[in-house]
Amino acid sequence: MLNATTSFSQALLIHVDFKDLRQSEDLEEFKLLAESAGLSICEIVRSSRKAPNAKYFIGTGKLEEVKSLLANETISLIIFNHNLSPAQARNLEAVLDCRVIDRTELILDIFAQRAKSFEGMLQVELAQLKHLATRLVHGWTHLERQKGGIGLRGPGETQLESDRRLIKKRIATIDKRLEKVEQQRQQNRRSRKNKAIPCVALIGYTNAGKSTLFNRLTRSETYVADQLFATLDPTLRRCYIPGKSEIIMIDTVGFIRHLPPTLIKAFKATLEETLQADLLIQVIDGHDPKRHEHKEEVMSILKDLGADDLPMLQVYNKLDLMPDEIPHIHRDENGKPLKLRLSSKTGSGIDLLYQALGELLNFPDHHSDVAEY
Ligand SMILES: Nc1nc2c(ncn2[C@@H]2O[C@H](COP(=O)(O)OP(=O)(O)OP(=O)(O)O)[C@@H](O)[C@H]2O)c(=O)[nH]1
Ligand SMILES: [Mg+2]
């Protein structure tokens, strides 16, 4: 697998604010992403623009600033908090003489470091290759245009063509392997459906606390960390709702603003697991000032996946950080649980979550179960 960001690389981050807020990214999140990739942040260069510069993304003044920082510090990697066009990335590397990666590549790199399952590793490699392929295709057509047609192909071009062929071949191999894994997954899903055990999937923005809640509910020890994309592979466990019945809980990869489309596509198979769930629990970091934006981002990704009409319970997590709030179920006009406040860390409010799950999954009441024994 490709790895752009080797551990402890000294990185220079470039963050551009745009007038149009929809185009803007979050600087704090960018820093956390770089740290989650194991990088140490050496410098941050900020700029604000109306629109990206076509050639270098940033303006020539900023480019000079970056150049002088490179001359004075040991920086081995430059990262943009935006996606660069293939031409911009090439121009920047040529003029700065330093490795330049963009937001998509940074996220892909974190995924590459985290992937543990066979399927996860294949999916990340597929996304990386597809990202690489777009760059090569652009480079190739660009060269082709310059050279002007048949009989004039130079050695560089031939190299690009054979690289493209190799990438295509590898993509086809991975596709085939993933297909097999997917068949296995469907088989497992069918047998679960036959047993009629309800499935509940935890979804939400990265770092919201999904795995912490998962561990509490299933008494397991899935990796939890104050890092973005701590979880990559979906994890399934059985879990008992006290006094009621058994369910299957699924912990999933976190979502992020402007998730690279190549990644969404690559993880579609995994996320389809989520689409088969009987209920989604959207975990929201109730303490995060950006929680509303994050919630909207999650909803828009769900919509893209065709999962926005699944029944959903919103769980506002990290209640322990909000001393004025108490665990509470918020219901809709029909009395159906809609939102819930709790703390996965301390466990306060978990009893309310069990209650809400029992109601939403239409489990018979606790007492009728007990009476049978
Ligand atoms: N104070 C507090 N911290 C919490 C709570 N739940 C989770 N955390 C912390 O939030 C951070 C992220 O938790 P995770 O459970 O890894 O979050 P996640 O949603 O699974 O994150 P990804 O797998 O990266 O998408 C960790 O440092 C947790 O200890 C909570 O209820 N209260
Ligand atoms: Mg997690």
Residue 191 belongs to a domain? yes
Beta strands in the chain (DSSP E): 10-18, 40-49, 77-80, 99-101, 199-204, 235-240, 246-251, 279-285, 312-317, 328-331, 337-341
CATH number of the domain residue 78 falls in: 3.40.50.11060
* Domain ranges, residue 182: 116-148+157-195
**pLDDT-derived band at 332, boundaries 50, 70, 90:** very high
In short, whether 209's Cβ falls inside 6 Å of ligand 1 is yes
**Residues 264 and 275 placed together within one structural domain of the fold:** yes
HEC-encoded secondary structure of 117-147: CHHHHHHHHHHHHHHHHHHHHHHHHHHHHHH
- What residues have their beta carbon closer than 5 A to ion ligand 2? 210-211, 230-231
**Residues 292 and 217 placed together within one structural domain of the fold:** yes
CATH number of the domain residue 237 falls in: 3.40.50.300
Q: Which whole number is the average pLDDT over 155-170?
A: 74
Shortest-distance Cα residue to atom 27 of ligand 1: 226
**Residues 255 and 365 placed together within one structural domain of the fold:** yes
**Residues 235 and 140 placed together within one structural domain of the fold:** no
Output DSSP code: residue 205: B
Report the chain's C-alpha Rg in angstroms: 24
pLDDT of 52 > 90? The answer is yes
**pLDDT-derived band at 266, boundaries 50, 70, 90:** low
Residue 186 belongs to a domain? yes
Q: Which whole number is the average pLDDT over 255-261?
A: 75
Residue 169 belongs to a domain? yes
Whose atoms come closest to the Cα of 217: which ligand? 1
Residue 2 belongs to a domain? no
**Residues 107 and 163 placed together within one structural domain of the fold:** no
User: Which of 123, 134, 118 is CA-nearest to residue 167?
Assistant: 134
Residue 37 belongs to a domain? yes
Q: Which residue type occupies 340?
A: L
Q: Which two tokens stand for residue 192?
A: 């679960």
- In the sheet where 40-49 sits, what is the strand order? 40-49, 10-18, 77-80, 99-101
Distance 78 CA to ligand 2 centre (A): 27
**Residues 348 and 301 placed together within one structural domain of the fold:** yes
In short, whether 81's Cβ falls inside 6 Å of ligand 1 is no
Distance 256 CA to ligand 2 centre (A): 13
Distance 257 CA to ligand 2 centre (A): 16
pLDDT digits (tens, 9 = 90+) for 66-75: 999 999 888 9
Nearest-10 crossing angle of helices 60-72, 86-96 = 50
**Residues 90 and 24 placed together within one structural domain of the fold:** yes
Q: Which whole number is the average pLDDT over 124-145?
A: 66
For residue 208, give the ligand 1 atom closest to its CA. Answer: 19
CA–CA separation, 135 and 44 (whole Å): 26
- Among 55, 86, 111, the domain boundary falls at 111
Question: How many other CB atoms are there within 10 angstroms of residue 109's CB atom?
Answer: 25
Range of lowest pLDDT (18-22, 293-297, 315-319): 18-22
In short, whether 344's Cβ falls inside 6 Å of ligand 1 is yes
In short, whether 208's Cβ falls inside 6 Å of ligand 1 is yes
Residue 190 belongs to a domain? yes
In short, whether 130's Cβ falls inside 6 Å of ligand 1 is no
Q: Which residue type occupies 44?
A: I
Using DSSP, state whether 302 is helix, strand or coil: helix
Number of domains in the chain: 3
**Residues 204 and 287 placed together within one structural domain of the fold:** yes
In short, whether 341's Cβ falls inside 6 Å of ligand 1 is no
pTM: 0.81
Burial of 41-61, coded b for 16+ CB within 10 Å and e otherwise, reads ebbebebeeeebbeebbbeee
For residue 321, give the ligand 1 atom closest to its CA. Answer: 1
**Residues 212 and 337 placed together within one structural domain of the fold:** yes
Using DSSP, state whether 283 is helix, strand or coil: strand
Range of lowest pLDDT (257-261, 315-319, 331-335): 257-261
**Residues 179 and 214 placed together within one structural domain of the fold:** no
Residue 356 belongs to a domain? yes
Residue 208 belongs to a domain? yes
230 vs 321, more confident:
321
**Residues 57 and 123 placed together within one structural domain of the fold:** no
- Among 195, 223, 251, the domain boundary falls at 195
% of the chain residues with pLDDT over 90: 42
pLDDT digits (tens, 9 = 90+) for 96-116: 999 999 998 998 888 888 887
134 vs 122, more confident:
122
pLDDT of 373 > 70? The answer is no
In short, whether 287's Cβ falls inside 6 Å of ligand 1 is no
Q: Which whole number is the average pLDDT over 77-84?
A: 93
For residue 367, the model assigns a pLDDT of 42
**Residues 209 and 136 placed together within one structural domain of the fold:** no
